[in-house]
Homo-oligomer: A and B are copies of this chain.
Amino acid sequence: MPTETFSRLPPKKQERVMRAAVSEFIQNGFERAKVEDIAARAQVAKGSMYQYFHDKREIFLYCAQWGLDLIMRKLDQRAPTDDMDVFAYFHETVSKVQVMREEHELALFMQVMTREPGLLDETMRGMYEVADGYVRKLIRNGIARGAVRKGLDEELLKEYFLGVTDRFERRWMAKYIDFSAADPTAWSAAMQRELDQMLDLLKNGMGC
């Protein structure tokens, strides 16, 4: 989506520009973000930004693509999640949150993306569909292996699972973001403990 010129730029400079854009969008959202300020952050002239991208919208869109790609790569190399147990998959939240911690700004940018449905709703819809499909598969496996209850609607099980796990993920993402200075190993231990309790709830429910 960016221009040829941008693609020929030294990768380090590309990254500097993208990170500048991401920061600016995090701080101000799409509308209030100024192309000139992105340029300033990247130590580049405003005019250059328009040699790299067609318009502001394209900068934002490419931030999403670039950021998502980078995060996905990091996530994949850390934990190959294919053909896993549903509950083991929930354990992977620890990895996810840690990657998000390393890529603090990108994690924040993903929240900003959420707030701009008009700009990238096909993209987001696509992401959700992929994630949903994946979880469905895990659940089907779980039922087949006898780890998950039979007789309940697959769709509902997926909603239940994602309701719990998404909330948990968001909760810890927020904690990590607020206290990003704190000791990471202590945090991940604390998270691990909570995760075990939550897994218990997920498996056995809150009823008596």
In the complex, A118 has a CB within 8 A of chain B:
yes
Interface string of A44-66 (1 = CB under 8 A from B): 00000000000000000000000
Task: Tell me if A162 counts as interface (CB < 8 A to partner B).
Answer: yes
Q: Does A168 contact B (CB under 8 A)?
A: yes
Of A10-18, A70-78, A91-99, A143-151, the stretch lying at the interface with chain B is: A143-151
**This chain's copy number in the assembly:** 2
Interface size class of A (residues with CB under 8 A): 35 or more
A171:B159 contact, CB within 8 angstroms:
yes
A residues with a Cβ closer than 8 A to B are 29, 31-32, 87, 114-116, 118, 146-150, 152-153, 156-157, 159-168, 171, 194, 197-198, 200-208
